[in-house]
A and B are shown apart, each in its own frame.
Chain A
Amino acid sequence: MRLSVHSYSTVARIQGPLIFVERVMQARMGESVTIVFPDRRKLEGEVLKIEKNNVLIQIFGESRGLDMDQTSVEFTDAVKKAPLSRSLLDRVFDGSFQPLDGLPHFVPERWAPVSGLPINPIARARPQELIETGFSVIDGLNTLVKGQKLPIFSSAGLPSKEMVAGILQHAHAGAVNSVETGKAFVVVFVALGLAHHEHEFYRQALMRMRNRFVAFINLADDPVVERLLAPRFGLSVAEYLAFVHGEDVLVVITDMTNYCDALREVSTAREELPGRRGYPGYMYSDLASLYERAGRIKQMPGSITMLPLVTMPEDDITHPIPDLTGYITEGQIVFSRELHQQGLFPPVDVLPSLSRLMQRGIGEGRTRADHRDIANALYTHYAKGRDLRRLEVIVGREGMTDDDRLMLDFADAFEAEIVHQGTERRGIAETLDLGLGLLQRFSLESA
């Protein structure tokens, strides 16, 4: 333990968001530092690598204005921590945890390391409590449960923010038949590289949440490196609200593609060996250090549910960002450009979509006894209909059997009636009744 703050002005090199400082005594890995600009401005930074007395520092902000002579770096002897208090509810911060809403900073009640600690797998409680989102494609076919991490894989130009806003507005915990609809969620909203028009949209969606949200906003023209920090602040806040105050927390992060691009930018600045598409080889572990912070803990009331938004570059689900995300998260909700062009909302393609934790959240006592059968039947018949569409293109409707034609009509009706629902909220019972009705109309058994 060092007793005083160490300050060095031995900057050897500045490169993008990185500073190399020489002749540093006893630096720590991950140590939080303050960079003092020649004009006395201050920015936060973090130690990334130490080689003897040379230290590599990442700056959380723009390096514009730094120089080699007057810039100094103060070492704090501690890792980066997030200030926490219940009074951070209803507040909006930037990616460095500075207030954006014009109010003064709150008084922290406690501090927690931003990178969090892994939950002991044995201490995890199995996620099994349903969250009703109000969307049929999720509630009926890819049910979300408390403590799950379920990303939305969208593409450029698709209405992902409308869906996120819909979930924010409608989501609550609870089963179909229970009278009380459960407690509302506290939303931790983390925006990374948000465009200004989207910012306005989300701001209004959050305003409707009154007292039940915390937002971290990094806009498209804000420092790129802050995007690595903001989700960690958000998750530290979520852990505090969930596991100290017992709240059910819904963490929405938009957009993970910007996070990964920031990670790549820092990695290339460090001259690390690039992996697939230039993303660093440790991206899987890095993403996991965020996503795995979702969950529930035995004998604790709260939960962290995560809804990250991923924009698939080139609409490609095999791109490293959606690919690695899908390997870590418990399923995915996949958007389809084709369905969007047909005017359906939400344009979710249910075939590649999946909720791995659905099995535990549905059925007797949770939703309805026939939920699983209805969902399976809808899937099977829709998949068949979709497959036959390709055949229809080649041989034409006339070359097909009556059964095949029935399946084609079923697939159309499924998209129009179940997938498409506009902005209205649909309860889960209503979703299941719709599904059952559809199967009966086509005389298909639900098994």
Chain B
Amino acid sequence: MTNRITGISGPTVSASPKGLKMYDRVSLGDAQLMGEVVRLEKQRAVIQVYEDTRGLGVGEPVRSVGKPLTARLGPGLLNRMFDGLQRPLDGLYQEYGAFIQAGKQAAQPWLARTFSFIPLKRPGDETRRGESLGYVEEGPFKHYIPNMEADGRIVRIVEGEMGLDDPVAALSDGTQLYLQHDWPVRLPRPSRGKRARVEPLITGQRCIDFLFPLARGGTAIFPGGFGTGKTILEQSIAKFADVDVVVYVGCGERGNEMAEMLEEFSALDDPRTDRPLMTRTIVVVNTSNMPVAAREASIYTAVTMAEYYRDMGHNVLLLADSLSRWAEALREISSALEEMPGEEGYPTYLASRMAEFFARAGAVETADGKTGSLTMILSVSPPGGDFTEPVTQACLRTTGSLFLLDTNLAYRRHFPAINWFQSFSLYEGDVASYFNRQVSPQWGLHHRRCREILQKEQRLREVAEIVGTEGLQEADRMLMHVAERIRREFLMQNAYTEDAYSSPEQTNEKIGGILEPYFRDTNTPTHGASGTEPGPDYPRTSLGSKNARPEA
């Protein structure tokens, strides 16, 4: 029997509830829009619709697919671009042209491809759920094919060119195993547990690697008002981070930026493998004018694909731009569901949903006994640049590091505009000792001295505001001079030049080149350093207050 639509409100639809299950995926109306059951009542089922509901009519049919919202996992995901529901955008483009229409189920063009499957098991072997059956070659590495169905004894396993829908193995109980499988996006993929081991994730951004280093499996957020360079920073990290796979989610952001990024990533080579960057990248994109409910789903689709590559023992980086748009989508759906609102209209489960999402990051021992990591770097777009708003605050409760982007630094073209007083990294201690061992024994010392100088400079600037730079002592002026060099030559990094990537060795050399002469000179004071002025690029925001407006 078929259920019927009884009401429509924004991105939600009511239907007769009979036979529907919670979180079932459904197909709506004659246009076959995709939706998910999010609430069941005696008289009605409420469905969150992942597409534009315009044109949908009351009385049209609702059909259950009988499965929750899933992502299709298998070879062929890399070097592709998907929408929030994992529909391949290149397929949609070829099939339907430049504009995305609702309800179109694009043929998945990668289905036609075959992959050369090399088995690791033999008939008669036992296999457990999560274990690899074999692998296919995908780009620079082995793509392991897991058994995600059941424990059992293998009765048949093949070798050679296989399509995604051809069974590659069969178990004694009759279960067929394929190159690809579906996984519910809202369910974290299993692992044998988290690892505490700390390794740095090198981003190539001096300010991050040196002052606020990230660990593999860690989480970072960077909140910043518009024009503070969130997107440029995310994309620089996506280009240069030393990971195997990058999953980039453009969540409710600009279409033109995505076009720019795609073109650039196809043209640029990964410095480590000399292959185009796109071959290690998966892009999930739901621009701001694409349906809001699919925007909510997009980060789950992305994290599921990221976990899939983590389970092969890879280091994966998930970048999302921006989490605020996801939270707003959640708010929009919540208000259409007429739920009781919490702070600023966001649903009360905002923080817990976010914490659940953050918990999917981590370095793990995979079900197959390998070590993999999933690191998350997420941008946040606080309204009005006000960091006291609920999304930033909810993130702060769970994130491992914070790179706070400062409007005042951005107005002065100090990029990346990371505020060095308000940002933090909980991985700092562990990672610094790693760099001390691996890069230079001076790393920790430089780090301390750099911090100290920047802090002293802050106090001196306050003094200089009152007495003028002429009234400062020579030693203080020298300190302000070296602080300005740190800011201009070290912390600033132009994303459009060669300087866009700085290896830990280059970073160490650069800061050493600034600090060492200064400490040499101040121990044996020499004169002749010209009078310097306080530089203008100084962060002024504080975490507990509204962002300062640019002085008119």
Q: Which residues of A does B touch, CB under 8 Å? A: 25-31, 49-53, 79, 113, 115-127, 147-148, 243, 272-276, 281-282, 284-285, 288-289, 291-295, 297-298, 300, 315-320, 323-324, 326-328, 330-332, 336-338, 349, 351-352, 354, 356-357, 359-360, 376, 379-380, 383-384, 386-388, 390-391, 394-396, 399-401, 403-404, 407
Instruction: Say yes or no: A359 contacts B496, CB within 8 Å.
Output: yes
The verdict on A147 contacting B331 (CB below 8 Å), with A50-B7, A326-B227 known, is no
Chain A, Cβ-Cβ closest to B56: A29
Which of A113, A120, A336 sits near B93, CB closer than 8 Å?
A120
Known: A26-B58, A273-B341. A403 touches B98 (CB 8 A): no
B332 on the A face (CB < 8 A): yes
> Among B55, B254, B413, which residue has the most Cβ atoms of chain A within 10 A?
B254
CB atoms of B470 and A293 under 8 A apart: no
- Choose among A123, A292, A327, A379 the residue that contacts B226 (Cβ–Cβ < 8 A): A327
Q: How far is the CB of A220 from chain B (nearest CB, A)?
A: 28
Q: Is B371 an interface residue (CB 8 A)?
A: no
Residue of B nearest to A338 (CB): B552
Q: Closest residue to A239 on the B side, CB-wise?
A: B99
Judge whether B282 is part of the interface by a CB distance below 8 angstroms: no
**B-chain residues with CB within 8 Å of residue A336 when the two chains form the complex:** 552
Asked if B81 lies at the interface with its beta carbon under 8 angstroms from chain A, I say yes
Residues of chain B lying within 8 A (CB to CB) of residue A292:
254-255, 287-289
Q: Which 10 A-B pairs have the closest CB atoms?
A: A399-B468, A288-B288, A318-B384, A30-B54, A387-B536, A292-B289, A395-B468, A124-B259, A326-B226, A123-B98
Most chain A C-beta atoms within 10 Å of own C-beta, residue among B6, B14, B546, B550: B550
A383 to B413, Cβ gap below 8 A? yes
- B413 x A124 contact (CB < 8 A): no
Instruction: List 25 A-B pairs, Cβ < 8 Å.
Output: A28-B56, A29-B56, A51-B7, A51-B14, A52-B6, A79-B54, A118-B287, A121-B250, A121-B255, A122-B93, A122-B259, A124-B255, A273-B341, A281-B345, A285-B292, A300-B98, A318-B383, A331-B227, A376-B413, A383-B411, A386-B536, A387-B412, A399-B467, A400-B469, A401-B469
Q: State whether the Cβ of B310 lies closer than 8 Å to any Cβ in chain A.
A: no
Bound Cα distance from A28 to B59, whole angstroms: 9
Query: Which B residues touch A29, using CB under 8 A?
Result: 8, 53-57
B86 to chain A, nearest CB (A): 14
Contacts of A354 in B (CB 8 A): 227
CB distance from B135 to the nearest CB of A (A): 29
Q: Roughly how many angstroms separate A272 CA and B290 CA in the complex, as a whole number?
A: 22
The CB with the most chain B CB atoms within 10 A, among A123, A328, A354, is that of A123
Q: Which residue of A lies closest to B292 (CB)?
A: A285
- Which of chain A's residues have a CB closer than 8 A to the CB of B8? 29, 49-50
Contacts of B250 in A (CB 8 A): 121
- A295-B256 contact in complex given A320-B383, A326-B227, A403-B531, C-beta closer than 8 Å: yes
B492 shortest CB reach to chain A, Å:
10
Given the interface pairs A123-B97, A400-B469, the reply to whether A390 lies near B551 with Cβ below 8 Å is yes
Q: In whole angstroms, how far apart are the Cα atoms of A170 and B221 in the complex? A: 43
Per the bound structure, the CA–CA distance linking A323 and B332 in Å amounts to 18
Beyond A25-B59, A328-B254, A383-B411, 17 additional pairs, beta carbon < 8 A = A26-B59, A28-B56, A119-B98, A123-B98, A273-B345, A282-B332, A292-B254, A317-B550, A318-B546, A359-B496, A383-B413, A386-B536, A388-B536, A391-B465, A399-B470, A403-B531, A403-B533
List of A residues within 8 angstroms of B467 by Cβ: 395, 399
Q: Whole-angstrom distance between the alpha carbons of A28 and B101 in the complex?
A: 17
Chain A minimum-CB-distance residue to B332? A282
Q: Which residues of A contact B97 (CB under 8 A)?
A: 120, 123
B469 touches A120 (CB 8 A): no
* B82 to A: closest C-beta gap in Å: 10
Max chain A C-beta neighbours (<10 A), residue from B58, B345, B413, B531: B58
A357 to B285, CA, bound (A): 19
* CB atoms of B288 and A404 under 8 A apart: no
Which of A127, A281, A386, A387 makes the CB contact (< 8 A) with B335? A281
Chain B residues packing against A (C-beta within 8 Å) = 6-10, 14, 52-59, 81, 89-90, 92-93, 97-101, 225-227, 250, 252, 254-260, 262-263, 285, 287-290, 292, 325, 328-329, 331-332, 335, 341, 344-345, 381, 383-386, 411-413, 464-471, 496, 531, 533-536, 546-547, 549-552
Contacts of A295 in B (CB 8 A): 255-256, 259
Whether B90 contacts A122 by the Cβ 8 Å rule is yes
A117 touches B254 (CB 8 A): no
**Of residues A281, A297, A352, A380, which shows the largest number of chain B Cβ atoms within 10 Å of its Cβ?**
A281
A249 to chain B, nearest CB (A): 16
Contact partners of A376 in chain B: CB under 8 A: 413
Residues of A within 8 A of B260 (CB): 126, 357, 360
A102 to B13, CA, bound (A): 44
Contact of B549 among A317, A332, A359 (CB under 8 A): A317
- Closest chain-A Cβ to B203's Cβ sits at a distance in Å of 21
In Å, the complex CA distance between A52 and B43 comes to 11
Query: Are A121 and B470 touching (Cβ within 8 A)?
Result: no
A to B contact number (C-beta, < 8 Å): 244
Is the beta-carbon distance between B385 and A394 smaller than 8 angstroms?
A: no
Provide the residues of chain B in CB contact with A127, threshold 8 Å: 256
Closest to A324 in B: B383
Q: How far is the CB of B194 from chain A (nearest CB, A)?
A: 35
Whole-angstrom distance from the CB of B287 to the nearest CB of chain A? 6
Cα A120 to Cα B285 in complex, Å, equals 10
Looking at A31, A275, A319, A336, which has the most chain B CB atoms within 10 Å of its CB?
Answer: A275
Q: Do residues A404 and B533 form an inter-chain contact, with CB atoms below 8 A?
A: yes
Given A293-B289, A318-B549, A383-B412, also A118-B99 (CB < 8 A): yes
CA A429 to CA B328, docked complex, whole Å: 44
Whole-angstrom CA separation of A400 from B470 in the bound complex: 6
Pick from B81, B328, B386: contact of A121, CB below 8 A. Answer: B81
Q: Are A118 and B533 within 8 A (Cβ)?
A: no
Partner of B256, one of A126, A272, A401: A126
Chain A residue numbers with a CB within 8 Å of B254 are: 292, 328, 330
Of B53, B255, B344, the residue contacting A119 (CB under 8 A) is B255
By a CB distance below 8 angstroms, the chain A residues around B54 are 29-30, 79, 113, 115
The answer to whether A120 and B259 touch across the interface, beta carbons within 8 angstroms, is no
Q: A126-B256, A391-B465 are in contact. Are A121 and B58 (CB under 8 A)?
A: no
The residue that A401 contacts in the complex, of B287, B381, B470, B549, with Cβ under 8 A, is: B470
Q: How far is the CA of A379 from the CA of B536 in the complex (A)?
A: 12
Per the bound structure, the CA–CA distance linking A275 and B346 in Å amounts to 9
Contact partners of A288 in chain B: CB under 8 A: 252, 287-289
In the bound complex, CA of A101 to CA of B98 (Å): 35
Report yes or no: B92 in contact with A120, Cβ–Cβ below 8 A.
yes
- Please indicate which of the listed interface residues A30, A285, A293, A386 has the most CB atoms of chain B within 10 Å of its own CB: A285
For A289, the closest partner residue in chain B by CB is: B289
**Chain B residues in 8 Å Cβ range of A399:** 467-471
A352–B227 Cα gap in the complex (Å)?
A: 8
| B465 / chain A contacts, CB cutoff of 8 Å | 390-391, 394-395
Q: How far is the CB of A390 from chain B (nearest CB, A)?
A: 7
Residue of A nearest to B341 (CB): A273
The complex places the Cα of A17 from the Cα of B252 at a distance, in Å, of 30
- Give the docked Cα–Cα distance between A316 and B547 (Å): 12
Question: What residues of chain A lie closer than 8 Å to B56, measured between beta carbons?
Answer: 28-29
In the assembled complex, the Cα of A426 lies from the Cα of B101 at a distance in Å of 43
B450 to chain A, nearest CB (A): 23
Decide: A391 and B256 in contact? CB cutoff 8 A.
no
When A124-B258, A380-B413, A399-B468 are in contact, do A337 and B536 touch as well, CB less than 8 Å? no
Q: What distance in Å separates the Cβ of A2 from its nearest Cβ neighbour in chain B?
A: 9
| B10 partner residues in chain A, CB cutoff 8 A | 49, 282
Give bound CA distance, A35 to B289, whole Å.
30
Give the CA-CA distance A22 to B407 in the complex, in Å: 51
Q: For the complex, what is the distance from the CA of A211 to the CA of B467, rounded to whole Å? A: 63
Residue among A148, A298, A351 with the most chain B CB within 10 A?
Answer: A351
- What B residues does A275 contact at CB under 8 A? 344-345
The answer for the CA separation of A118 and B331 in the assembled complex, in Å, is: 22
